[in-house]
Amino acid sequence: LEARGALPPGMPPPHRTVEALFAAVADRGPRVDLRRFAAEGAPGEAGARRLRFGPVEAFGARLRELMDRVRGWRADGRRTVIVSLQSPRLAELFEGEGIAAGQAASLTALPGAGDVRLIRGSIPHGWALPAEGGDVVLLSDTEVFGFAKQRRRRGRPRRQHESFLEDLQPGDYVVHIEHGIGRFTGIDRQTVGAREREYLELRYADEDRLLVPTDQLHRLQRYVGPSDHAPALTRLGTQQWSRAKQRVRASVRALAEELLQLYAARQVLPGIAAGADTPWQMELEASFPYVETPDQLDALRQVKLDMERDRPMDRIVVGDVGYGKTEVAVRAAFKAIASGRQVAMLVPTTVLAQQHINTVHERTAAFPVRVEMLSRFRSPAEQRDVLAGLADGTVDMVIGTHRLLQDDVSFKALGLVVIDEEQRFGVAHKERLKRMRREVDVLTLSATPIPRTLHMALSSIRDMSTIETPPEERLPITTYVMETDDQVVREAILREIERGGQVYFLHNRVRTIEAVAAWLRGLVPEGRFVVGHGQMPEGQLEEVMTSFVAGEADALVCTTIIESGLDIPNVNTIIIHQAQRLGLAQLYQLRGRVGRSAAQAYAYLLYDRARPLGEAAQKRLQTIFDATELGAGFQIALRDLEIRGTGNLLGAEQSGQIGAVGFELYTQLLGESVEALRATREGRPPAPTRRGPAVSVDLPLVAHIPASYIGDLNSRLAAYQEVAAVETPEGVARVRAGLRDRYGEPPGPVETLLRTVRLRCLAARLGAVSLQYDGQRVVLQLAEGLTFGDAARRAALPPGARLGRTQLRVATRGEGAAGRADWLDTVEAALVTLGNTATGAGC
């Protein structure tokens, strides 16, 4: 910036190192460490003191409500501070309401009890803090005015390249494609000749050490296994890793053959083609009270096209919680019924069955459609009546649990089966579903994100639709992670009740749930509480859920029965008690039970103050807290969610193979097996696999990313990985532009690094295996079996470049040699010329 004249010379840097910062504050009195999960009295936490910061209400520009609340706070003796860029305007409003509010440029001491202070400024969020002399309430523009609604961008925003190295820490496990599973221990700098290079140091079994050059980071993958257990480290110099890969290849080949056979059977078996949309179909779709998202419309179009073909449909619709998968299922079901066929919707829990039947009844009330439920909520007589209706065709649609898969259930004309959360059914049930897929249309709904790598591996044999865009009015859920606190629980419940909403209070222990409900009734006597869990008698749970949906109770004290699919838009606060006991996927799904309307939703993840949190629990809660953006389910916690997604598609029996080589390599091998089998059946060569550039480049150049350019180690490693993953010369220009945008003009060593990457890509297009310096010249060597053709030999190469049958040589010393810049230009010009005269193998 100084070189460009944007900053004056000698401008002090706007940042300090951590060491300098600690040195500067060392003599300034007591130091305070703020930790999210510190616990009073816990071992190793001597002197820890709990600051009872709590959330404050968001008013969303409802200024009359704000004035009324401030009056109440003044009457209670609370001290109110509002930091706002609109403080002069707020002062006028307070004055008009007869509320004394002093203005100040800054705050050097807390206001007196019942006083209000306005400060012109901006802070991200407010808070409340109980204190002697009156509680303190701090409000920001976020709470007072809320966020401005953002216009949705056209189409789906593309996710930027994400590097696992950005989060890599010493002790993390990684997979090297050639050497196996190792543990990352740090960065090692070594000087070779006049060149300084950085390496990633990996430790393997028996403390063997492997240094991975930064230009080979594309050979590394993060290790993700099917459990939290540490994987066994590979022994270097043995056949252990190659044997493990061979076993996984055999397993994924068998799996790919099974999937392809199922796919092929669906292609040749006659299906039941649904008719085109009827006027009733259009009327049903027009009655949808919300605006469909672009992804929803795409999924609907794909489902309808599948149904109208004369082969059985087998499509999975994947979408985050509350993104509109159920509406896709309702419209598909109605289309099947309009074509004279019956529909079965299979769900994992009776509560979800009740939820779905309420939704379908509401959506189809204006049409002569008979929809029934088959579950333990129904008496034996009611079940017999439903079974008879399915057999004689008078029941158009049935929604039920695994009861639908029993032998006494028969249909007159079954045309569509909708399966919600298939991974939650047992092996025997899945076998029955597998047989169904050969006979009728099957639509599977899943809120468990499918990893993109797996999606790509299976996209040619499993039809998938992904709903990633959130509904138009949806707001991110405001999430709090804190110790259990009576006052916070009481205020959270009362705040929701006061705005006309309802609350889920989740306590996942049936044995103590009644005691917790009694505690809540004593804590919030103004509220109406009901209790629901999966071990209740058959009719009682239905009664509880019906009364809660009808608004006859303010809060449902429940277990994880609400985890899947439950959709009550009036519930906009969830309090999860002892959240540290739940898995990450569970926490994410449970939080998604709220925030399903235009109202701001709140999630409180409470943990016990009596016992300190373990490291794994801290990571889970921190991940949920950080994942606040809409659609975070597609990014959150690879370990927990992506592996569940694998089970959803492939079955749990593959988890051992995933553990052997890691998730990313497993899906890569699966994709290769699928492509090889398809190519064989179709009589064509398989598409080339892309495992990153295979050209070895070793030139006498200072080519690296100095710490003075990118100081943060993880960011520097991520930049190295981004550079290593470049596959085309055009990609080099994009990476350079990205680096310039984020870190400024690249210095000489970075420009040289990018130059060598460009040379590597040009060499790869020719089918080269190496581009190396031998002390006298730069030599490009073609892969075995490749030679330069006549056109290449006739090409006008630049001076200093000579071509043989399998090599290109450019002199750097002696006769014909030039300066370093010149021989680099000569190498590049020769590679470009040869690339224009021959068809290369690609990068």
Query: DSSP letters of 350-405?
Result: HHHHHHHHHHHHHHHTTS---EEEESTTS-HHHHHHHHHHHHHT---EEEESGGGG
Q: Measure the CA–CA gap between 39 and 613, rounded to whole angstroms.
A: 9
Give the C-alpha separation, 562 to 417, whole Å: 23
pLDDT in tens, 63-112: 888 999 999 999 989 999 999 888 888 998 899 889 999 888 888 888 88
Kindly indicate the confidence band of residue 1, based on its pLDDT and cuts at 50, 70 and 90.
Answer: low
Of 112-116, 127-131, 599-603, 648-652, least confident by mean pLDDT is 648-652
Mean pLDDT of 699-721: 85
187 pLDDT above the threshold of 80: yes
Inform me whether the pLDDT recorded for 785 exceeds 60: yes
Q: Give this prediction's pTM.
A: 0.59
- Interhelix angle 325-338/350-364, rounded to 10 degrees, is 60
CATH of the domain at 758: 3.90.1150.50
Q: What is the pLDDT of residue 520?
A: 95
Q: For residue 144, which phi and psi values (nearest 5 degrees)?
A: -75, -50
DSSP 8-state code for residue 99: -
Higher pLDDT, 116 or 428: 116
Q: Is 752 left (phi over 0), alpha (psi -120 to 50) or beta?
A: alpha
Query: Residue 732 has what pLDDT?
Result: 92
Using pLDDT thresholds of 50, 70 and 90, give the confidence band for residue 724.
Answer: confident
Site of tokens 């899945």: 430
**In a shared domain, residues 512 and 620:** yes
**Domain-embedded: residue 661:** no
Domain shared by 457 and 529, yes or no: no
Tell me: do 438 and 544 sit in the same domain. Answer: no
Same domain (yes/no): 386, 346: yes
In a domain, 687, yes or no: no
How far, in Å, CA of 514 to CA of 530, rounded? 10
Give the mean model confidence (pLDDT) for residues 228-251. Answer: 87
| Closest residue by Cα to residue 140 from 97, 89, 87, 95 | 87
d(CA 400, CA 467): 25
CA distances 399 to 405, 429, 826, Å, are 12, 16, 71
Question: 336 pLDDT band (50/70/90 cuts)?
Answer: very high
* Lowest-pLDDT choice from 117-126, 492-501, 749-758: 117-126
Range with lowest mean pLDDT among 266-280, 324-338, 759-773: 266-280
Asked if 726 and 794 count as a contact pair (C-beta separation under 8 A), the reply is: no
Q: Give me the percent of the chain exceeding a pLDDT of 70.
A: 79
The answer to whether residue 505 is domain-embedded is yes
Question: Beta strand 696-698 with 768-773: parallel, antiparallel or unpaired?
Answer: parallel
How would residue 289 be classed by pLDDT, with cut points 50, 70 and 90? confident
pLDDT band at 399 (very low <50, low <70, confident <90, very high): very high
Q: What is the pLDDT of residue 728?
A: 87
- pLDDT category, 343, cuts 50, 70, 90? very high
Cα–Cα distance for residue pair 391/393, rounded to 1 Å: 6
Look up residue 4 and give its two tokens: 């460009």
What is the structure's pLDDT at 360?
92
pLDDT at 557: 95
The dihedrals phi and psi of 331, each to the nearest 5 degrees, come to: -70, -40
What's the CA gap between 53 and 252, in Å, rounded? 52
DSSP secondary structure string for all residues of 212-244: EEGGGGGGEEE---SSSSPPPPPPTTSSHHHHH
Tell me the mean pLDDT in the region 548-570: 84
Q: pLDDT-based confidence at 166, cuts 50/70/90?
A: low
Tell me the C-alpha distance between 726 and 733, whole Å.
10
Q: Are strands 180-192 and 173-176 parallel, antiparallel or unpaired?
A: antiparallel
In a domain, 277, yes or no: yes
Are residues 495 and 461 part of one domain?
no
- What's residue 337's pLDDT? 94
Among 227-236, 689-698, 699-708, whose mean pLDDT is lowest?
Answer: 689-698
We report the CATH number of the domain holding residue 545 as 3.40.50.300
Instruction: Specify whether the CB–CB gap between 116 and 94 falls below 8 A.
Output: yes
Q: How far apart are CA 806 and CA 792, in angstroms?
A: 11
Neighbours of 112 (CB within 10 A): 11
Q: Is 454 within the bounds of a domain?
A: yes
CA separation for the pair 283, 24 (Å, rounded): 70
Provide the β-strand partners of residue 190: 197
Query: What DSSP designation does 704 have?
Result: -
Confidence of residue 564 (pLDDT cuts 50, 70, 90): low
Same domain, 373 and 514: no
Please identify, among 89, 120, 145, the residue that sits at the C-terminal boundary of a domain.
145
Question: 638 pLDDT exceeds 70?
Answer: no
* Residues 548, 423 share a domain: no
Q: Is pLDDT above 70 for 839?
A: no
Whether residues 421 and 510 fall in one domain:
no
Distance separating alpha carbons of residues 780 and 760, to the nearest angstrom: 10
Q: Are 703 and 773 in contact (CB under 8 A)?
A: no
Residue 817 scores a pLDDT above 50: no
* Torsion on CA atoms 200, 205, 209, 215, rounded to nearest 10: -30
Residue that finishes a domain, picked among 467, 488, 516: 467
484-488, long-range: CB within 8 Å, 24+ apart, which pairs? 484/577, 484/578, 484/606, 484/607, 484/608, 484/609, 485/52, 485/54, 485/606, 485/609, 486/523, 487/52, 487/54, 487/130, 488/54, 488/55, 488/604, 488/606
> What pLDDT, on the 0 to 100 scale, is given for residue 700?
84
Please name which of 641, 508, 509 lies closest in space to residue 563, comparing C-alpha atoms.
508
Is the Cβ–Cβ distance between 723 and 713 less than 8 Å? no
775: DSSP letter: S
Under the banding of pLDDT at 50, 70 and 90, the label for residue 392 is very high
Q: Looking at the structure, tell me whether residues 483 and 443 fall in a common domain.
A: no
Angle 374-375-381 from CA coordinates, rounded to 5°: 70
Q: With bands split at pLDDT 50, 70 and 90, how would you rate the model's confidence at 29? A: low
Q: Rounded CA gap, 684 and 506, in Å?
A: 56
pLDDT at 800 over 80: yes
pLDDT for position 254: 85
Tokens found for residue 756: 């060598």
Co-location of 497 and 419 in the same domain: no
Among 249-263, 680-694, 701-715, the range scoring the smallest mean pLDDT is 680-694
Please give the Cα distance from 112 to 133 (Å, whole number): 8
588 and 486 share one domain: yes
User: Rg of the Cα trace of the chain?
Assistant: 32
From 629, 645, 671, give the residue that closes a domain. 629
Query: How many structural domains comprise the chain?
Result: 4
Structure confidence by residue, pLDDT tens digits, 414-425? 999 998 876 666
Q: What pLDDT is recorded for position 154?
A: 36
Question: 391 and 288, same structural domain?
Answer: yes
Q: What percent of the chain lies above the pLDDT cut of 90?
A: 25
Q: Count the neighbouring beta carbons within 10 Å of the beta carbon of residue 670.
A: 27
Split at pLDDT 50, 70, 90, the class of 152 is very low
pLDDT, mean of residues 121-144? 84
For range 180-208, the mean pLDDT: 84
What mean pLDDT, rounded, does the chain reach?
Answer: 80
**586 within domain boundaries:** yes
Identify whether the C-beta of residue 378 lies closer than 8 Å to the C-beta of residue 541.
no
pLDDT digits (tens, 9 = 90+) for 450-482: 555 565 556 666 678 888 777 766 677 888 888
Q: Give the model's pLDDT for residue 540.
A: 85
Report yes or no: 386 and 374 within 8 Å, Cβ to Cβ. Answer: yes
Q: In what order do the strands lie in the sheet with 777-782?
A: 696-698, 768-773, 777-782, 807-811, 801-803
* Residue 334 confidence class, pLDDT cut points 50, 70, 90: very high
Contact 595, 572 (CB under 8 A): yes
Tokens, residue 802: 């000579």
pLDDT for position 340: 92
Question: Whole domain around residue 403: which residue ranges?
Answer: 269-467
pLDDT above 80 for 571: yes
Tokens 């370093």 locate to 820
- Cα gap 670→453, rounded to integer Å: 10
160 in a structural domain? no
> How does residue 616 score in pLDDT terms, banded at 50, 70 and 90?
low
CB 199 within 8 Å of CB 213: yes
Q: Does the pLDDT of residue 313 top 50, yes or no?
A: yes
The first and second tokens of residue 603, run together, are 């999630």
Least confidently predicted of 14-23, 59-68, 105-114, 276-285: 14-23
Q: How far is CA 767 from the centre of its chain?
A: 37
**Mean pLDDT to the nearest integer, 16-22:** 70
Look at residue 584 and tell me if it is in a domain: yes
Opening angle at CA 703, ends 700 and 706, nearest 5: 140
